[in-house]
Each structure stands twice: as C-alpha cells, then as structure tokens.
Amino acid sequence: MRTADTLSIELPPRYCPLPTARHPEEAALARHTADWITQFAPALTPRQKTRMRGNDCPGFYGRIMPRAPAERLQLAVDWCTLMFHLDDVYDEGHARPATDRAGRFTDLTARLVRVLEVPEVRVDSPDETIATLMPPTLDLALRAHRWATPTQMRRCVEAHRAWFLAMLWEFGHRAAHSTPALNDYAHLRQHTAAGAATLAWAEIIDGEEIPDRELSSPLVRALTELAFTTAAFDDDLFSYGKELWVARHEGAPPSGLGLVEILRRERGCTQWEALRAATELCNRLTHRYVELRERVGPRASGPLRAYLDHLDHLVPGNLEWGLSADRYRNPDGRSPGAVTTTGSWTRTPPADTSPPPIPSITWWWDPLDP
C-alpha cells in the first residue's frame, strides 16, 4: 500500500530457527552514545545527531552480544553510530556526482584506517566533513588499542580495508549507472555491509584472541561468510522499501545495488517475484548455516565458541533490528515513518536446500572439515 509520501512492504516468511536475545542495558548504551556524539562531534547538526540516535546501534549490537559487559560493548555501539553516519554522508549524498563522493570517501577512509593502525599519527584535512569525523575516530582507536591484542587490532584494520575497498567497488557502479552481476554481488555483499569489521570489534570486546588455525579453517570461514552474507541480504530485504521511496522522490529508477533489484533486472521478473526470490535465497543460506553450525566440535576453544555465538545471534538479531530501526523507516532523515516493512519468521526449512546457482558462493556447500 502506498500514498504520495508513504510506502509499505510485506516480506515473505523468513526461515530462521536461530536464537534471539537483547542486551539488558541498551537504554544506558544509547544515553552514553548520545553523550559521546556531543563530546567528540560537536559540529554535527541537530538533525544529524537525531538521525544517528535513530539508527539504534545499541539495539543492533545488543542483539549480537547480549551478554557482553556494557562498558566494553559501548566501544562497538559508538563505532556503529559513527559508521552509519559515514554511510549516510557518502552513500546517500546524491547531490554530488558519484565520482566526487568516491574521491572524498577514499580520502576520509584512508585517514580513518591509518588512525586505527597508529592513533598517534596526524592526518589533518582541510575537508570539513573529514575534520568533523576524525576526533571520534581517534577516540575509538585509543580505546581499542587499550584492550586489543596486536593480532586483534590487525584483524580490525584489515577488516576495515576490505569494507572500504568493497564500497569503492560499489561507488564505481554508481558512477557508471550500472548493475553488478548477481555472481559478483553475492561474494562482495558481505564486505560492502562491513561484516568482518562488525565482528572484529566483538573479538576485542570479548578480550580473548581467537586462534588463527580455528578462525581460518574452511568450516569457520564458511560459517562466517554465510552469516555475514545472509545478514547483508536481509538488509537488502528490509531496505528495499527505502530504496523505492528514495527513487520515487528523485524521479529515477531504483538503484541497481541491492539484491532484490539485481534479481529483478537479471531475471526480468516483477518486483514481488524478485522479493520472493531474494527471501528464498536468504532462507537457503540460513539453512546451510544451521547445517554447518552443528558440525563445530566440542574441542573448539572458548574464544571460538564466543565468536560463533555472536554469529548465531547476528542473523536473527539483524532481522529484528532492521524491521524496526528508523534507518529504514525514515528514508531521508526527514520523513519519519514514511516506509513500513513487515515480516514474519518460520522454523519450517525451505523446500530447496541445494546450492544456489551462484558460482562465487557455492563452495559453502563443499565437504568442509570441522
């Protein structure tokens, strides 16, 4: 149902038997984040600050790490708040050409990664947006270095580089007004959604370092990619209404950088058929994750078990959060409640659990040693 200024979408049922939980101190985390924004980014406008709070990062991370100590979880919540703001500034700044936005994005993220690596370095910039974002980035880096091991910090930095590189790939498609092939999008989506960067903070918050022989094993790599990709594809489901709303108000077709629209264009089908196909793909990926998760043996280390527990909570938690977060209900930061997306869950496995015909990700169905 839609009016001139509102749009509603109902998603097909999502198969997801994984556990859900909430952090008991989300309200306190939200208050501290609001204070942190005021302290380290005073130049932000009131509307920007309101939008940052509306992204509900305490609810996002509180669902992934419901038992984490609040004082440590605050680090990830603050990071999430800042990174969503970065995404809003550069990914949605349609007033500037995509090539210009990509250049400024590269300038900022190169400095951001360097500060994460070595907080003591100076990376001053005359660009007002970059200058505004560097103080909170420095604060995050200093806090992370106090807790992280060198290996954890290296993983965190590398995860950010992977994320920003994937975002530049996306900017390239925006500049060319092109739609990526599903096969390319499927393996890059986990990176454009900052999957590894999100969980890198979780390892730092947990404290203990995950042994590399476990984290790099084929089974754990497959579980990791499955969880990151499924959550990112779910983002595409509950952000599709926002994408349609923005396109309608700009008088342009929807962006070709989301799973639903890629399927629609590649298969030549209707929006509803593409939405159903995207949901079916998410259901198939979730089923494979559950299958592989049961193969992790009891000899897994404590740090690995904690990491996998976060992955278990990521997919259902992201679904719950995404269907309620203002990030998708208020598509331009000025239209609260303009988009409504509803969805339901089922514990009935999908009828088709075979590998999808997407070569770049079918290795998740290979025989994998535990």
pLDDT score at 92: 55
**For residue 129, what are its two tokens?**
């947006």
pLDDT > 60? residue 3: no
pLDDT score at 1: 41
> What's 4's DSSP letter?
S
| CA–CA gap between residue 355 and residue 358 (Å, rounded) | 8
If we measure between CA atoms, which residue out of 344, 89, 93 comes closest to residue 237?
344
pLDDT > 60? residue 62: yes
| CA–CA gap between residue 240 and residue 244 (Å, rounded) | 6
What is the pTM for the complete model shown?
Answer: 0.95
pLDDT score at 96: 53
Amino acid at 6: T
In a domain, 2, yes or no: no
Residues 6+ away with beta carbon under 8 Å from 32 = 74, 77, 78
- Tell me which residue range forms the domain holding 129: 7-365
If we measure between CA atoms, which residue out of 89, 130, 124, 94 comes closest to residue 109?
130
Q: Are 115 and 141 in contact (CB under 8 A)?
A: yes
pLDDT score at 42: 87
Query: Any idea what the CATH number is for the domain that residue 22 is in?
Result: 1.10.600.10
What's the mean pLDDT when you consider all of the chain?
Answer: 92
pLDDT > 90? residue 124: no
In a domain, 370, yes or no: no
pLDDT score at 97: 53
Instruction: For residues 1-15, give the mean pLDDT.
Output: 81
The DSSP element (H or E) to which 26 belongs, if any, is helix 26-40
pLDDT score at 129: 80
Amino acid at 204: I
Instruction: For residues 17-32, give the mean pLDDT.
Output: 97
pLDDT > 50? residue 194: yes
| CA–CA gap between residue 182 and residue 43 (Å, rounded) | 40
Express each pLDDT in 78-97 by its tens digit: 999 999 998 887 755 444 55
Amino acid at 99: T
If we measure between CA atoms, which residue out of 337, 316, 315, 319 comes closest to residue 328?
337
**For residue 137, what are its two tokens?**
């980035």
pLDDT > 50? residue 301: yes
pLDDT score at 319: 95
Q: Give the β-pairing of 14-15 and 339-342.
A: unpaired
Q: Are 235 and 193 in contact (CB under 8 A)?
A: yes
| CA–CA gap between residue 166 and residue 232 (Å, rounded) | 13
| CA–CA gap between residue 218 and residue 228 (Å, rounded) | 15
In a domain, 93, yes or no: yes
Express each pLDDT in 217-254 by its tens digit: 999 999 999 999 999 999 999 999 999 998 898 888 88
pLDDT score at 94: 47
In a domain, 232, yes or no: yes
Q: What are the angstrom distances between the C-alpha of 143 and each of 42, 54, 102, 153, 213?
A: 20, 24, 29, 11, 27
| CA–CA gap between residue 226 and residue 290 (Å, rounded) | 10
For helices 195-206 and 70-91, what crossing angle results, to 10°? 160
Instruction: For residues 175-202, give the mean pLDDT.
Output: 96
How many structural domains is the chain composed of?
A: 1
In a domain, 69, yes or no: yes
Could you give the percent of the chain with pLDDT greater than 70?
96
pLDDT score at 101: 76
In a domain, 33, yes or no: yes
Mapping DSSP to helix (H, G, I), strand (E, B) and coil, where does residue 351 land?
coil
In a domain, 136, yes or no: yes
| CA–CA gap between residue 101 and residue 80 (Å, rounded) | 21
| CA–CA gap between residue 355 and residue 332 (Å, rounded) | 37
Instruction: For residues 31-44, give the mean pLDDT.
Output: 92
Express each pLDDT in 340-355 by its tens digit: 999 999 999 999 999 9
pLDDT score at 229: 98
